Structure 1
Amino acid sequence: MAFVNSVPLRLSASSTSAFCGRHSSSGGSGGGSGGGGGAAAAATRLGGRHSPVSAPTRPSTRHAAVRASVTPATNEDDLPLVGRAEDAVIPAGTVPRREMLAALTAAVAATAAAGVAGGVPAADAAPAVLTKPSWEQVPLSAETTLFDMSFSPTDPNHGWLVGSRGTVLETNDGGDSWKPRAFKNLDSDDEINYRFEVVTFRGDEGWVIGKPSLLIHTRDGGVSWERVPLSPKLPGDPVLITALDKEKAEMTTTAGAVYLTENGGRNWKALVKETIDATLNRTISSGVSGASYYTGTIISVLRDGQGSYLAVSSRGNFFLTWSPGQDFWVPHGRDSSRRIQAMGFVRDDVNEGLWMSTRGGGLQTTSGSPDLTASETLTFNKADLKSGGYGILDIAYRPGTNEVWAALGGGALYVSKDGGKSFKPDKTVGKIGTNLYKIKFFSKDVAFALGASGVLLRYNPQSA
């Protein structure tokens, strides 16, 4: 049983139908007529007792070792010339070809020697040292797509990395090296079919979300894990979870339900009174202009540091926001005819604004403190980023600086030095050959870019 103020509560049939978007026959007050509002605000039991999952075992042998390196791109036109060409020219036809080449080589060597002797400093006469790449590849024993990464704020050297086909990797040296882990007895025959999409840690408290629908939890930093049962009445599948404190976390589903647990997942309290479908149906019935094209489930759900949420429709035709204290999600139309590719918070703070990328490589941001309580279309300002038609998959702001990074389709990385107003391609990394789906800054100097085919890049602050 779940207890709120010492009153035992269960997920009733009426509250389930209300949270799935059915209208109450008796209507409601204050905009709650379309979703069976108050029933879902009580604590909701999502499952029974936890079933134990043993600690990660020895590295899995199914992953093939990947040894890759990134060679910095060099531009020969940028290398300084040694001597002058006219000093080494010998009129054609006066000497044999072999002697002419020998004379040319001697002339160049003499000019360089003269520079060392006194005329030109030796450092100016020699080619410059190659620029250190902004991002360097970290070798991994995995070839799968990487989806998420988390480091414990209390132990920045300890982190976890998750991906497709059951990929789980752990580091204890800040990300320099990663060791594969496996969850024994977690449907071991089908473990390779799990796609772990979210990992989050706060101290020793950690959570992982996977597909097919799966939620697992650790209280001891990953030494042991337990599977958290999910009720079949849960609206939608878990899509995002954020560790907040000891045994405390906040979880969102694909239907827009937001739940809070304070006892390690045994009981959950609903923070939103209705699902997104119920909100959209109510909005349509109220006659709001343009609401008829709001359809589909949500993807790309993000939570900022203050607890506000941002979600994008799976069809890319609208986005929604929700902040603590609000009863419902607020839908917002896009101000472009192009579908939404991805969205996020500027500097991980809703008060700093939102960024939006659209199909075809468009990028735009709002100003600070956007009004997210109104359903009117927000004003976005276009950024100067010439992507060549490639979509922008993620944007990341380097803390404490005006540096902003953009990951584009095909593995291209673009950088802005003016806070995101204009971008230029970063040519120091070279050709990655695969998409980078997420860039995560954990501090000013610690960041990683996650991609397909087991590609993991680490940020090099010395190149900034």
Structure 2
Amino acid sequence: MIARALHRWLAFALVVGIVTALGASAQPATPAKAAASALQARLATKAPLLALARAGARLVAVGDWGTVVLSDDLGKTWRQATSVATRSMLTSVAFVDAKRGYAVGHGGTVLETSDGGDTWTRNHDAGADVVLLTIWFENADRGIAAGAFGFAMSTHDGGRTWKEFTPGAGDDRDRHLNAVFAAPGGPVFIAAESGTVFRSNDGGASWATSFRTTIRPERQTLSAVTIGPTGTLVVAGLSGIGTHALAAP
């Protein structure tokens, strides 16, 4: 149990570091780069990688220039995906099962796969000036993609259609949205810059500010969020890891 918990925390810390570095470079991709397919490269497994997800027993990592690499032996060896329909920087990846998954990135790019990450096709274009930083799916139908300057959108039909929404209000409207997380059967959270966490108790239909750090918030960028073993909200970012007691809905 201790080893498993340590493994999870190390993975969590790795993601924090990756996404924090990414948040500092939230620049849109050119339309040509977003539309072009990724090149097959001999050194693809050494490309800058920004996110990792599990697709059944397979590991799928994504990164710059549309790079997607796969491992079927728990990371011992890696190979490049056969086909990826973008050269944009890919920043986040999520799977709903062993075969079906989604990836997002710069240039408003949303990709999907139905073969465990070996081939990726275009699912949606959110706009050339949109930088998507995170994608999350609750199940095969419901998901959220979010990113720079408060941009967010949701789907309720497995990515066939997407609807934009704004989780923040007032000064929080244009916060960079860095990570989405939900406890099973519980509320949905979005970690953002300026030490802010947004919360939805109704599956994303409405949002409110759940938490904001009071310690130099102008320097706080929260880039990861999860639920700790004691049921507390665990957030992490530029200034380390902190916890926040969850209030009742």
Q: Which TM-score bucket, shorter chain as reference? A: 0.5 to 0.7
- Cα deviation, 1:28-56, whole Å, max 9, x if unaligned, reads xxxxxxxxxxxxxxxxxxxxxxxxxxxxx
Asked whether 1:238 is paired with 2:186, we answer: no
Give the corresponding residue for 1:255. 194
Q: Is the CA contact 2:85–2:122 (under 8 Å) kept in the aligned structure 1?
A: yes
Select the residue among 136, 142, 166 that pairs with 1:205: 142
Alignment of 1:146 onto 2:90: yes
Cα deviation for residue 197 of structure 1 reads: 0.7
Measure how far apart 1:142 and its partner are: 1.5
Shift in CA distance, 159/246, structure 1 to aligned 2, threshold 3 Å: farther
Partner-residue secondary structure (3-state), 1:147? strand
Query: 8 Å contact 1:312–1:319 — kept in the other structure?
Result: yes
Task: Give the direction of change, closer, same or farther, for the CA distance of 1:324–1:214 in structure 2 (3 Å limit).
Answer: same
Q: Give ranges in structure 1 of 5+ residues lacking alignment.
A: 1-59, 73-132, 282-294, 327-464
Residue 258 of structure 1 and its aligned partner are, at CA, apart by: 2.2
Deviations 1:201-243 (A, max 9, x none): 1102200002232010112211221111342342744322224
Q: 1:160 aligns with which of 102, 107, 113?
A: 102
Q: What is the TM-score of this pair, normalised by structure 1?
A: 0.34
Consecutive unaligned residues of structure 2, counting only runs of 5 or more, are 1-31, 45-75
Deviation of 1:251 (Å): 1.6
For residue 134 of structure 1, report the CA deviation from its aligned partner: 0.6
Distance 1:321 1:62, change over 3 A: closer
Distance (whole Å) between structure 2 residues aligned to residue 218 and residue 312 of structure 1: 27
- The letter of the residue matching 1:231 is A
Is the aligned partner of 1:227 residue 2:164?
Answer: yes
Q: 1:271 to 1:62 in 2, by over 3 A?
A: closer
**Shift in alpha-carbon separation, 1:199–1:240, aligned structure 2, 3 A:** same
Cα distance, 1:180 vs. partner? 1.3
Distance 2:191 2:148 in 1: 14
- The aligned amino acid for 1:169 is L
Instruction: Give 2:169's aligned amino acid.
Output: S
CA contact (8 A) 1:247 1:265 kept: no
Paired residue secondary structure (2:79): strand
Give the 3-state SS of the residue equivalent to 1:212 in structure 2: helix
* Cα deviation code 1:255-286 (max 9, x no counterpart): 222232122433334433xx32x3349xxxxx
Distance 1:62 1:322, change over 3 A: closer
| More strand as a share of residues | 2
Asked if 1:218 is matched to 2:123, the reply is no
Q: Is structure 2 residue 215 aligned with structure 1 residue 279?
A: yes
Larger radius of gyration: 1
Q: What is the alpha-carbon distance in structure 1 between the residues aligned to residue 200 and residue 93 of structure 2?
A: 22
User: Does the 8 Å contact 1:200/1:242 carry over to 2?
Assistant: yes
Per the alignment, residue 322 of structure 1 pairs with 243
**Number of equivalent positions:** 178
Shift of 1:69: 4.4
User: Do 1:201 and 1:243's aligned partners in 2 also have CA atoms closer than 8 Å?
Assistant: no
Match of 1:312 in 2: 237
Question: What CA distance in whole angstroms lies between the structure 1 residues aligned with 2:128 and 2:87?
Answer: 13
- Counterpart Cα distance in 1 of 2:151 and 2:162: 13
Q: Is this contact kept in 2: 1:199–1:206, CA < 8 A?
A: yes
* Correspondence for 1:54: none
What is the 5 A alignment of 1:7-406? 63-70=35-42, 134-138=77-81, 139-152=83-96, 155-183=97-125, 191-203=127-139, 204-229=141-166, 230-234=168-172, 236-244=175-183, 248-272=187-211, 275-276=212-213, 278-280=214-216, 296-299=219-222, 301-304=223-226, 306=228, 308-313=233-238, 318-325=239-246
- Against the structure 1 CA distance between its residues 212 and 325, is the aligned structure 2 distance closer, same or farther, given a 3 Å change threshold? closer
The 1-side partners of 2:90 and 2:33 are apart by 18
